[in-house]
């Protein structure tokens, strides 16, 4: 599989989002999916301390015990684990990294990411604590998530040692805010890797949701808070994208991946998986490269009023 860079790290173009581990998947199922990913050429695993109420890190640590050196391991801190474990204060960061290292059963985290901005803590203080971790060898690179252009610029100006090398925001053919709000352009300017999460628009681009067909019983889009994704306009767009992909012998899922991968600033397309079959589908999506003419045609489909 093609590799791209996140700072000094070399990662697979398709990454594995680990938010299902410890939630929808137990330890045994986590190991099956994790090993299938490695066997398929996926080496970038992205988790967080809050996933599965800390079980994602724990199960992942067990699963990777014999294969740790094959993985570029990313995790996050900052969202609320409980009342006392949250935020980006330096003293909490020092605790959070030790907790994650223990759960992951490793001596280093390859990419340690601030899960969201903490308005109560100066970013310089957060970066200072993260720089200590890098110099101590506990963390190789640092990144951020859910940051705006202004927040990226503030962090860059405040960095005196280790600097953010990546930003992870939501981005897909349906959710294109990073283009409109300038984050993609700022990543190019600052030489930051961009990591899109929810590349399948919470399942809308998976091919499971079709116009005029019953909604599947399971899946994120069955939740009330995502009901808006299943609007008739969005489903009409999905049908058009399916026609485009199938005319070329591909699936809409593959199109969702390759469309993101066509942006050089994107380092790895992070997608979750709950089965070995999904791993194979995701990994295979990296093999399709859109031509310039195809990208123009897809843009025409996406720009059609709906």
Domain locations in the chain as residue ranges: 3-205+253-290
CA angle 25, 146, 199 (to 5 degrees): 55
Contact between 121 and 89 (Cβ < 8 Å): yes
Mean pLDDT of all residues in 288-294: 96
What separation in angstroms does the CA of 176 have from each of 199, 225, 302?
A: 10, 19, 10
Return the DSSP state at 182.
Answer: S
Mean pLDDT of all residues in 253-275: 96
Q: What residues contact 107, with CB distance under 8 A and at least 6 apart?
A: 101, 137, 138
- The catalytically annotated residue of 51, 112, 171, 197 is 51
Global pTM? 0.92
142, HSE (Cβ side, Cα atoms, 13 Å): 25
The CATH superfamily assigned to 3-205+253-290 is NADP-dependent oxidoreductase domain (3.20.20.100)
Q: What is the pLDDT at residue 208?
A: 80
Give the C-alpha separation, 78 to 80, whole Å: 6
59 is catalytic: no
What is the distance between the terminal CA atoms of the chain, rounded to a whole angstrom? Answer: 36
Q: What is the dihedral of CA 254, 36, 113, 66, to 10 degrees?
A: -160
| Residue pLDDT, tens place only, 26-53 | 999 999 999 999 999 999 999 999 999 9
| Residue pLDDT, tens place only, 140-165 | 999 999 999 999 999 999 998 999 99
């Amino acid at each position: 599989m093609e590799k791209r860079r996140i700072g000094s790290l070399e990662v697979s173009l398709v990454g594995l989002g680990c938010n299902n581990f410890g939630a929808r998947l137990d330890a045994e199922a986590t190991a099956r999916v994790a090993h299938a990913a490695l066997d398929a050429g996926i080496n970038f695993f992205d988790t967080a301390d809050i996933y599965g109420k800390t079980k994602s890190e724990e199960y992942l640590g067990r699963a990777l015990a014999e294969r740790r050196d094959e993985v570029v391991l990313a995790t996050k801190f900052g969202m609320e684990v409980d009342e006392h474990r949250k935020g980006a204060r330096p003293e909490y960061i020092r605790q959070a990294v030790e907790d994650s290292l223990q759960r992951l059963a490793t001596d280093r985290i390859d990419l340690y990411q601030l899960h969201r901005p903490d308005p109560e803590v100066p970013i310089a203080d957060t970066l200072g604590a993260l720089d200590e971790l890098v110099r101590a060898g506990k963390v190789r690179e640092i990144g951020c998530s859910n940051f705006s252009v202004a927040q990226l610029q503030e962090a860059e100006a405040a960095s005196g040692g280790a600097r953010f090398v990546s930003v992870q925001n939501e981005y897909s053919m349906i959710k294109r805010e990073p283009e409109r709000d300038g984050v993609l352009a700022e990543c190019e300017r600052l030489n930051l890797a961009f990591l899109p999460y929810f590349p399948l628009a919470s399942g809308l681009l998976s091919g499971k949701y079709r116009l005029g067909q019953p909604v599947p019983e399971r899946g994120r889009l069955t939740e009330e808070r995502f009901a808006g994704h299943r609007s008739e306009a969005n489903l009409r767009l999905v049908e058009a994208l399916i026609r485009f992909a199938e005319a070329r012998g591909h699936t809409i899922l593959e199109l969702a991946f390759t469309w993101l991968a066509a942006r050089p600033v994107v380092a790895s397309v992070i997608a979750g998986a709950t089965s070995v079959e999904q791993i194979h589908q995701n990994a295979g999506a990296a093999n399709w490269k859109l031509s310039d003419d195809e990208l123009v045609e897809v843009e025409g489909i996406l720009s059609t009023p709906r």
